[in-house]
């Protein structure tokens, strides 16, 4: 019995020893588990912090730790290269400057202004095309009217020139017939028994008579109710003055002429004379004479004398 008890005590001591060893192993395992849990909590906290930073700085999101896929074909992660890339991207972000939180509002405002200016530009383009069409139409109409009027003036000028010079040749020519509105007009005048072409080679009286012929040629196309002539007969001789006066008489039926002249032949054929005199120093006075009344008195006197 003593031996049996001794054996049982030895077994109990061994079991106690195993129990203590198991308890120590359990305690160590619990300590390791607690440390692992603390480490897991710390890693998850760091992960969430990095995840939030990625959202704020890079507008990127990653999955949960447990959901990260394992790509067998992916190349191994190169930490130094990744750090270099991160530094490069950070430097690029710093070069862009601070973030403008009002950029979206400014963009909307500038976009509205761009749309407004685009509309204005399109309206200007349409107006430009409309103006071009109107200018083309005006130019075409003006070209047709000018060519038609120029043809009539040319025909009348030839007739008036030959009438005033009692012969000769004259003509009006366009230096650039393809662009009549911008072309200069050349006057060709050759009085009778002269072979001249250039107007500058004519004498002063011939040039004046040529200008008078052109003036009356224009009047035949579009008569004017009123005309002032200043010393146009000064370069003319007596014969040419008579032709000029006869021309004035014909046109005076539709046009009232006021002529500034010192030529006696022209004054004799006028209806009324106006003169400026200075009887007192510094005081001008207008003197007028009606030649029609004077002619009537002369005719009356001649009739009385004939009757007597």
Is CATH 3.40.50.300 what the domain over 109-222 is classified as, yes or no?
Answer: yes
Predicted local confidence at residue 77, as pLDDT = 66
Residue 308 has pLDDT above 60, yes or no: no
Residue 96's pLDDT band (boundaries 50, 70, 90)?
A: confident
Residue 73 has pLDDT above 80, yes or no: no
Residue 274 has pLDDT above 80, yes or no: yes
Q: If DSSP codes are grouped into helix, strand and coil, which group holds residue 278?
A: strand
Residue 61's pLDDT band (boundaries 50, 70, 90)?
A: low
- Residue 185, φ and ψ in degrees, nearest 5: -110, 125
Q: Is the dihedral angle over the CA atoms 199, 203, 209, 211 positive or is it negative?
A: positive
Q: What is the pLDDT of residues 146-191, one digit of tens each?
A: 999 999 999 999 988 888 888 888 888 888 888 888 888 888 888 8
Q: What is the pLDDT of residues 106-155, one digit of tens each?
A: 889 999 999 999 999 999 999 999 999 999 999 899 999 999 999 999 99
Mean pLDDT of the chain: 83
Residue 304's pLDDT band (boundaries 50, 70, 90)?
A: very low
Predicted local confidence at residue 196, as pLDDT = 58
Q: Distance between CA 65 and CA 269 in Å, rounded?
A: 123
Q: Distance between CA 108 and CA 122 in Å, rounded?
A: 21
For 37-63, b/e burial (b = at least 16 CB within 10 A) is eeeeeeeeeeeeeebeeeeeeeeeeee
Which value, to the nearest 10 degrees, does the dihedral of the CA atoms of residues 292, 294, 297, 299 take?
A: -70
Residue 198 has pLDDT above 70, yes or no: no
Q: If you ran DSSP here, which 8-state letter would residue 225 be given?
A: S
- Residue 182 neighbours by CB under 8 Å, 6+ apart: 176
| Rounded mean pLDDT, 181-206 | 78
Q: Which residue bears the tokens 């040419």?
A: 240
| Rounded mean pLDDT, 35-39 | 91
**Size of the chain in residues:** 308
Q: Which residue has the higher pLDDT, 239 or 305?
A: 239
Predicted local confidence at residue 299, as pLDDT = 43
Residue 282 has pLDDT above 90, yes or no: no
Tokens standing for residue 289: 């004479």
Predicted local confidence at residue 133, as pLDDT = 92
Domain ranges of the chain: 109-222
Predicted local confidence at residue 95, as pLDDT = 84
Q: What is the pLDDT of residues 146-156, one digit of tens each?
A: 999 999 999 99
| Rounded mean pLDDT, 252-270 | 86
């Amino acid at each position: 019995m003593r031996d049996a008890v001794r054996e049982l005590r030895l077994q109990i001591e061994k079991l106690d020893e195993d129990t203590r060893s198991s308890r120590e192993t359990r305690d160590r395992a619990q300590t390791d588990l607690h440390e692992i849990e603390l480490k897991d909590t710390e890693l998850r906290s760091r992960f969430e912090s990095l995840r939030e930073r990625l959202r704020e700085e890079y507008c990127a999101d990653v999955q949960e730790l447990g959901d990260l896929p394992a790509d067998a074909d992916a190349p191994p992660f190169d930490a130094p290269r990744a750090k270099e890339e991160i530094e490069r991207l950070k430097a690029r972000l710093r070069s862009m400057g601070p973030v403008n939180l009002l950029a979206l509002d400014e963009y909307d405002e500038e976009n509205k202004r761009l749309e407004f200016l685009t509309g204005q530009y399109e309206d200007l383009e349409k107006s430009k095309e409309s103006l071009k069409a109107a200018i083309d139409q005006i130019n075409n109409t003006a070209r047709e009217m000018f060519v038609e009027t120029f043809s009539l003036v040319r025909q009348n000028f030839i007739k008036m020139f030959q009438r005033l010079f009692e012969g000769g040749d004259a003509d009006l020519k366009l230096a650039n017939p393809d662009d009549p509105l911008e072309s200069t007009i050349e006057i060709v005048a050759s009085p009778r028994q002269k072979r001249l072409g250039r107007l500058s080679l004519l004498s002063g009286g011939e040039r004046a008579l040529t200008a008078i012929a052109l003036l009356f040629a224009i009047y035949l196309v579009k008569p004017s109710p009123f005309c002032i002539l200043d010393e146009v007969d000064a370069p003319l001789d007596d014969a040419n003055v008579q032709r000029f006066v006869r021309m004035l008489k014909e046109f005076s039926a539709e046009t009232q002429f006021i002529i500034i002249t010192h030529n006696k032949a022209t004054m004799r054929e006028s209806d009324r004379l106006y003169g400026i005199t200075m009887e007192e120093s510094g005081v001008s006075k207008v003197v007028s004479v009606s030649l029609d009344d004077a002619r009537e008195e002369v005719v009356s006197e001649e009739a009385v004398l004939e009757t007597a």
